Structure 1
Amino acid sequence: MDDQNKNLILATVLSFIVIVVWFLLFPPPERVDDPNAPATGETAQSQADGTAPMTPGADTREGASVPSDAAPASADTEEAPRLGIDTPRLAGSINLRGGRIDDLKLKDYLTSLDADATRVTVLRPEDQRDPFYALYGWIPVSGADAGAMPAEDTVWSVEGTPTLTPETPVTMTWENDAGLIFRRTVGIDTDYMFTVRQTVENTGENPVALRPYSVLRRHGIPSDLKKFFVLHEGLIRMSDGELQEESYGNLEDFDVDGREGVPAERIEVQESGWTGFTDHYWMSTIIPDTAFRSTAKYFPGRSIFQTDAVLPAVEIAPGASASVDTRLFAGAKEWETIKEYQNDHGVTRFLDAIDWGWFFFLTKPIFAVLHWLNSHIGNMGWSIIALTVLLKMVLFPLAYKSYASMAKMRELQPEMEKIKERAGDDRQKLQKEMMELYKKEKVNPASGCLPILLQIPIFFSLYKVIFVTLELRHAPWIGWIHDLSAPDPSSILNLFGLLPIATPDPDSFLAIISLGVLPILLGVSMWLQQKLNPAPTDPTQQMIFAWMPWVFMFMLGTFASGLVLYWITNNVITFMQQYAIMRSHGFKPDVFGNIRKSLTRKKKAEGK
């Protein structure tokens, strides 16, 4: 591979990174939506035309659905009592109106590093910003009608303790006029997993058949949606081992069709699975313990996204009762916690809820090693450095030939210049003599591209890991680096804090030239490394290579500090490896990469 082809590869890499930066700085415009719009008098009309959110119902017809009579409670509905939620990691409440789980905060996570930051909120009631909540209920199949079922505005009674803790589950009850007593018992573990047991007792004279269901309902597109092309936010569900991810934009096509309440996307899960909505770092998912019907719906009349799980029908004879358990995960996408739910509690492929991306075969093991290093080191910044060292050690046998080839290429630089002078503008003659020289000296110019090709998937895999995994969020390193998932907060525009000038907003164009300490170190390290590489013979190519470190310095300046730290460490280690290999080939680079040939090597080259 000649210098021109090598430049083509580098230009391709550079172009791809430009696209990444462009999308990070200028994401697609978000649709303006009011997530706080209260319910209005349009509800009745919406139900008539099939656009209002419906409790999942099913009759005996194949593929048909029956909407419930109850619409979501409007904002002016009288506030019902609440049951408290208090665990080591969660705080919130359960609304007795509808028995919905709609108020949940994470005790371990703050919205930002600011002094006035509040706890992260996962679920919200309808009268707050971005309503998002879980509903449960029963669908009549035979022996009862919809009016005999608890609705979304039904006020439940409390049995026993009024506060949900890991040691004390709470139980809600409601009795209809047809001899059915409904109970809902909610338990929770010490992390983020709820267990909801729905029980029906039949005190009447006739048998009934009912189908239990669970619903996750989100009003409007979340106002904090990031809309980055490397991150999935929206529907996520696992159906018999098959993962499905749909953005909110795609979900808007999951409209109800001509029949009321019939979803456009329905999956019959035969063995196991789960369904829910995921945000950047948080997630809520319904996890049935049996086969179920998984649906995804969008109701354009009120911009409501919904996913639900309808379980098989249960028959309750007179004097008998039946119970069904469903789990609800609502919390942080912590790798260790989710792995435990997958491996120890049977949640199928739950780790895939983390957005590992196209390079999942690299991102998963890279993060596993990073997590292991952090468990021993206790600092994510130093763990990234240690990870980089390990990766360089693993790749060194492959990279050694490349570095040795580049050293040999530098040794042949004078002869290559002579060939260029002899060939003049005759490109064919130049290529022929170059190939003869490579064959004679047993040099493979293509091996010089190997480090670049190896670094591309590793770089983007680590970028993905740092961007999507919760463990890097708000993770400090040293000094001024308080969040490795965010750009370096220092700025050359205020002399790194010496001048009383605020740094530019991260979303502004000035952020590109507001270089911090780490981006500057990145540019310097790239420049030093480049000094050890053989220079292209073409002056234009030489100019491109000379500017490349400083272009990358500005381009990567707005990337996460953890990623820039990896790149700096990689450059420093590469420089040290190339330095040692150059000396083994008779060259003596100085600390700035300037190279001179040793006297012994020079005499040998001159044939003395």
Structure 2
Amino acid sequence: GTATTVASAPVQMASTGLVTVKSDNFIMTVDEFGRISQMELLEVKYHDEEGNNLKILSPSEVKPLEVRFSDAKLNDEAFRIPYINTGSQSVDVSNGPQTVTLTQTLSSITVTKKITFKPTGQYDVTVTTSASTPYFITPGHRPVADQSMYMLVRGALVKGSDDIINTVEDGDAEGYEKFPSAKIASAFDRYVASMFFDFDKGLNVSILKEANGDPLIFVQGSDTLELNAYIGPKEEKILSAIHPELTDAIEFGWFSFLAKPFFKVLLWINDYVGNWGWAIILFTLLVKFVLFPLSYKGMMSMNKLKDLAPKMKEIKEKYKGDPAKMNAQMMEMYKKHGANPMGGCLPLILQIPVFFALYRVLLNADELQGAGWILWIENLAVMDPYFVLPVLMGASMWFQQKITPSNFTDPLQEKIFKWFPVIMTVFFVYFPSGLVLYWLVNNLFTIAQQYFINHMYAKQKAVAVAAHKKSKD
């Protein structure tokens, strides 16, 4: 069947260049089989320690624009007979688009690839076969731009005609999945992607499973196939300028519904302040401001519970043998004093999705790559090289605990709680410094809030005590 023939391709020798495409930000090479064999990113932020450009295509993997045929004989020829380029061998797209036409003459058909390269990494492709025969074209195996230790999602992403975004991670491909009339088909890594897209007619996309379980995207064509494509960094500004929907190719996982608006707000703040570190701090302040009414209620509730702790102990002693009565008495007491045992948890519970959404934004946003803050923090996308931020974060957590009213009745819970800052510090040591900065600033604002609320509570309590005294007199 089609599924098997599309998946097979002979092992190739090292490819030779047919065309070199130059832009301000990249150098791209097209090989003798009409495939993009390499793309080098020239921006300094992508350079390695030695100052070399970042090459995003792995020599041994399937390349973007590789064409495969269902017909076994044609398929075999397609990987042996090179394309011919009658035009220039080197094109410069810095000042505008340039078109290259490549032709491959097989025994029964002629294949023509007309590629228009643009300065951003966007390109348009028209594949034409002189006689009708089914073929498949791929955006290639996902590019490689990050070998970091972070838990990253990488693989294939398809935005279907129903607007649902499907991701197939490396190693998780099922075999053969079809997505008719898909809008986007993207092979993606942490910061870079190679994608095809069509928001009008849609693409007939299949995802195949490679031997190692990685997904491989193919788009089916016959006669003439027109494709819009992009390869390069998943930068919001670049993608949204090509098409607003294309930003869906920036993958934020489970918490996309929060991560996407967060990312937009962060980009907006950064446009004004021009420093990602300060943008994160201002964003944290904004989140705190939005959650303040809930935090206020929760912290007030915790103060009340702390005051009620002795009474709670009495009730527990008194109704030791009767849990139902004990709970009823407890509820009665909470009601009388306007305390809510769950009130203190709510702001914390709300912080969890916020934290995870931000984690994904700060991990996946290419804009943070090489973005510094102040002093020694030169790249918010990687860990703090001197562990200063994680240690400060741990210290702020410990201090926050000190001033937060607690009403532990279980000594074991209290012990675990005491060790929490240490555990979190160890946990955060390797996190991107942008995320640690968010958590540190979040803690500092929480401490300020707690001081303010403790002060307010003491005031309210003094007023209540005075009023109570007065009524007695």
Fold shared, TM-score > 0.5 on shorter chain: yes
Name the amino acid aligned to 2:217: T
1:428–1:546 CA distance, 2 compared to 1 (3 A):
farther
Distance between the aligned counterparts of 1:393 and 1:292, measured in 2? 44
1:98 is the counterpart of 2:33: yes
Find the partner of 1:123 among 35, 38, 57: 57
> Are positions 1:195 and 2:107 aligned together?
no
**Aligned position for 1:550:** 422
Q: Is residue 247 from structure 1 mapped to residue 119 from structure 2 by the alignment?
A: no
Separation of aligned partners in 2, 1:397 and 1:171? 62
For 1:164 and 1:441, the matched residues in 2 are separated by 77
Check conservation: 2:54, 2:145, Cα contact below 8 A. Answer: no
Distance 1:112 1:423 in 2: 69
CA contact (8 A) 1:148 1:177 kept: no
Q: Following superposition of structure 1 onto structure 2, how do residues 63-102 of structure 1 map, counting pairs within 5 Å? A: 64=2, 67=5, 71-72=9-10, 74-75=12-13, 80-95=16-31, 97-102=32-37
Q: Which runs of 5+ in 2 are unaligned?
A: none
SS at match of 1:446: coil
Which has a greater percent of helix? Answer: 2
Secondary structure, in 3 states, of the residue corresponding to 2:126? strand
Letter in 2 for 1:189: K
* 1:188-215 CA-partner distances (Å, limit 9, x unpaired): 1121212122345x6xxxxx42445422
Which whole-Å CA distance do the structure 2 matches of 1:400 and 1:471 have between them? Answer: 34
Tell me the alpha carbon deviations over residues 130-160 of structure 1, each in whole angstroms, 9 at most, x when there is no partner: 434123558599xxx9559972232233223
Deviation of the 1:324 alpha carbon: 3.8
CA distance, structure 1, for counterparts of residue 51 and residue 321 of structure 2 = 66
3-state DSSP of counterpart to 1:328: strand
TM-score (norm 1): 0.67
Aligned residue for 1:550, secondary structure, equals helix
Pairing partner for 2:246 from 350, 362, 373: 350
Equivalent position to 1:164, from 88, 91, 94? 91
Partner residue, 2:196: 286
Q: 1:81 to 1:459 in 2, by over 3 A?
A: closer
Q: For residue 464 of structure 1, report the CA deviation from its aligned partner.
A: 1.5
| Residues 120, 109 of structure 1: alpha-carbon distance in 2 compared, 3 angstrom cutoff | farther
Tell me, yes or no, if the aligned pair for 2:70 and 2:135 is still in contact at 8 Å.
Answer: no
Aligned residue pairs total: 465
Unpaired runs of 5+ in structure 1?
Answer: 1-62, 203-207, 255-263, 315-322, 344-348, 491-515, 589-596
Q: How does 1:332-481 map to 2 (within 5 A)?
A: 332-343=233-244, 349-413=245-309, 415-416=311-312, 431-481=327-377
Larger of the two Rg values belongs to structure: 1
CA distance in 1, matches of 2:444, 2:285: 10
C-alpha separation between the residues in 1 aligned to 2:233 and 2:67?
26
Other-structure match for 1:297: 208
Distance in 2 of aligned mates of 1:546 and 1:159: 73
Q: What is the CA-CA distance between 1:371 and the residue it aligns to?
A: 1.1
Check conservation: 2:144, 2:192, Cα contact below 8 A: no
Question: Equivalent residues in 2 for 1:205-216 (5 A)?
Answer: 208-211=131-134, 213-216=136-139
CA 266–407 in structure 1, closer or farther in 2 if over 3 Å, else same: closer
What CA distance in whole angstroms lies between the structure 2 residues aligned with 1:487 and 1:277?
Answer: 26
- Percent identity between the aligned chains? 29
Counterpart for residue 115 of structure 2: 186
Secondary structure of residue in 2 paired with 1:173: strand
1:461 is displaced (CA, Å) by 1.1
Q: Does 1:563 align with 2:460?
A: no
Please tell me whether the aligned partners of residues 305 and 407 of structure 2 are also in contact (alpha carbons under 8 angstroms). no
Task: Tell me if structure 1 keeps the 8 A contact 2:140–2:187.
Answer: no
Amino acid across the alignment from 1:352: D
SS at match of 1:355: coil
1:543 shift after superposition: 3.2
- Which amino acid in structure 1 is aligned with residue 231 of structure 2? A
Query: What secondary structure is seen at the aligned counterpart in 2 of 1:194?
Result: strand
How has the CA–CA distance of structure 1 residues 390 and 213 changed in structure 2, closer, same or farther, with 3 Å as cutoff?
A: same
Instruction: Compute the RMSD of aligned alpha carbons.
Output: 3.6
> 1:157·1:174 contact (CA, 8 Å) conserved in 2?
yes
Of 143, 158, 173, the residue aligned with 2:103 is 173
User: Aligned equivalents of 1:285 and 1:351: distance in 2?
Assistant: 12
CA contact (8 A) 2:168 2:215 kept: no
The CA distance in 1 between the partners of 2:229 and 2:171, in whole Å, is 25
Q: Distance in 1 between matches of 2:119 and 2:243?
A: 16
Q: Secondary structure at the match of 1:358?
A: helix
SS in 2 for 1:88: coil
